[in-house]
Amino acid sequence: MAAAQQSVEPAVSVRDLSKRFGSTQALSAVTLSFARGEVHGLVGENGAGKSTLGKMIGGLYHPDTGELDVFGNRVRRWDIKRAQDAGVVLIAQELCLVPALTVAQNVFLGRERRTFGVLHSGLERRYQELERVCRFGLPPDVPVDRLSIADQQKVEIMRALARDARVIVMDEPTSSLTADETTRLHDIIGWLKSRGTTIIYVTHFLEDVLAHCDRVTVMRDGRVIRTADTARETKASLVEAMLGEPADMLLPERPPEPGGAPLVEMRDVYSGEAVRGVSLTVRPGEIVGLAGLVGSGRTEIARVLFGCEPADSGRIAFRGEEVRAASARASIARGMAMIPEDRRAQGLVLTRPAFENVTLPHLGGFSRMGVLARRAERAAVEELFERLGVRPRQVDGDISVYSGGNQQKVLFAKWLLGRPEFLILDEPTRGVDVGAKARIYQLIVDIATSGTGVLLISSELEEVVGLSHRVYLVRHGSLIGEVAAAETSVEVLLQRLFGVGDTPTTSTPSGNGEDQ
């Protein structure tokens, strides 16, 4: 994409902007400008400050020091409402919707039309006008709490478009979207650019930055490293700038092929309409992938296996013994653990410090006669934070302001503290940058090498193929096949998942890596 023409007066500019959260310096004297009508990428490791900068421009955070200019006007007082009134809209990575309201009500929230104080409806007509642009296919009258995370992400995007924004900050907007939906979003970005809208695009997908952004700014440790036209950058050059050194972007070597009896087994398990006759096995030290399109039932299978959802029929066994009283609490007691898809809503307690999030499921091991041994608790967490490279290292840090990658590492620490025999990973690298991904990949391999069985769910098929020993293919809540990861490719999996030349079959728990 050719670089955008710089206007004399940028849409947004910041000068010597700094922000601190407790002892963490999130931004340090950042100076940067965003041209009118350009798509400007912000990249960097988790914790580099890119999301903090985006949220500051969008009015969610207020700078400690520095200056912010919007369309030539110096900002004195700034918050989300003032930003929106000025034509600046933030689409945050952490979704901010009203669960009980419908899709249309969320899209037009705060933009309802009134005459003499009387609220007018007409939302459905206005929604259909917007839908003709987006073509997301979301029904306007469905409450958003019934939608998947991916569909909720689309509601956030539509809400920004409904505000006729002149500047849109998109923080990881494609992290929950399918390939087709991502393509559609990029088409919308191109359309917005043609209208003169400025897009500030925060993402860890470097391919998207190179393909769709005019310029890209690399950040590291809260500072701007450089800004350049994307035509002058490559994926390797961006990674090197992000990390400060050349990086090996290859996946680590998968662990040796495991043997022995199954550690976990599902046989002909049904649960409502979401899980239909699923049979699978995972052996100790084995990484087994679940590959499927968004909405295929991957997460539902994992939740039934872990006991978060009931099984209507079928058999689930752990260490050869049938699981009869399934619940998350019972699964943890058996030696199972699960890192969920939505770390903020389902994995972390954002009002408690980092170390309490780690030790919460294991308090019995740190208490005697009902009294917690705080020193031992903190020491155990400090050791894990050192091992996993959590930043900041303070165990009593405010987890709500940690970057996505470091929140994910805290989740790993939470379950590794209990040394589980079986670990379910649902989208373990969602919203995580290249550097943090490489560390998480190695961590997953190390976990399996230690003898822990791993069930891996990821929308990034490269992860599934590169890390797993075997892969089960999921479509409409059923398993349609099983393949040896070393003998397949992402292209082949996509063809199977889309039903190209494939006849659906129900797999059997052979565990031998052969295609069913």
Instruction: Note the pLDDT of residue 5.
Output: 47
Tokens at 344, concatenated = 């903020």
Looking at residue 249, its pLDDT comes to 54
Stretch (H or E) spanning 27: strand 24-34
Query: pLDDT value at position 310?
Result: 94
Domains defined along the chain, listed by start: 12-243 (3.40.50.300), 248-254+261-335+420-516 (3.40.50.300), 351-419 (no CATH)
Q: Where are the beta strands (DSSP E) in 324-444?
A: 336-339, 367-368, 371-372, 422-426
Contacts of residue 5, Cβ cutoff 8 Å, sequence gap at least 6: 35
CA dist list (Å): 37 to 167, 168, 196: 9, 11, 4
> Residue 494's pLDDT is what?
80
| DSSP bridge pairs for 12 | 34, 70
- Give pLDDT, residue 293: 77
pLDDT in tens, 14-30: 999 999 987 778 899 99
- Which residues of the chain are modeled with pLDDT < 70? 1-8, 46, 112-122, 176, 245-250, 500-516
Q: What local confidence, expressed as pLDDT, does residue 467 receive?
A: 96
CA 451, 457, 463, 469 torsion-angle sign: positive
Q: How far apart are the C-alpha atoms of 197 and 194, rounded to whole Å?
A: 7
Backbone φ/ψ region at 325: left (φ over 0), alpha (ψ -120 to 50), beta: beta
Can you give 230-279 as a three-state secondary structure string? Answer: HHHCCHHHHHHHHHCCCCCCCCCCCCCCCCCCCCEEEEEEEECCCEEEEE
Per residue in 172-185, pLDDT (tens digit) is: 888 767 777 788 88
Residue of 383, 401, 344 lying closest to 393 (CA atoms): 383
